[in-house]
Amino acid sequence: MEKRVLDAMKKAGKPVRTGDVAKMIGVDNKEVSKVISGLKKKGRVISPTRCYYSLGEE
């Protein structure tokens, strides 16, 4: 699931909301929120503005 979320964010090419990612990969918004939360803790995703997320430094 993490890979699908990261791929969708990379494809978007700009900061996205969890709902945008959920639509792109066809899963529930809450699932994406959990995955993004985990990715933020690992430093793979950052939040440049409130409610928007983009890829962190790899």
Say which CATH number the domain at 31 has. Answer: 1.10.10.10
Q: Is the pLDDT of residue 58 over 60?
A: no
Distance in angstroms (rounded) separating the CA atoms of residues 22 and 30: 9
Q: What's the rounded mean pLDDT across residues 5-33?
A: 97
Distance in angstroms (rounded) separating the CA atoms of residues 40 and 14: 16
Q: What's the rounded mean pLDDT across residues 8-36?
A: 97
Return the pLDDT at 26.
Answer: 97
Q: How many folded domains does the chain comprise?
A: 1
Range of the domain at 34: 2-55
Q: What's the rounded mean pLDDT across residues 28-56?
A: 96
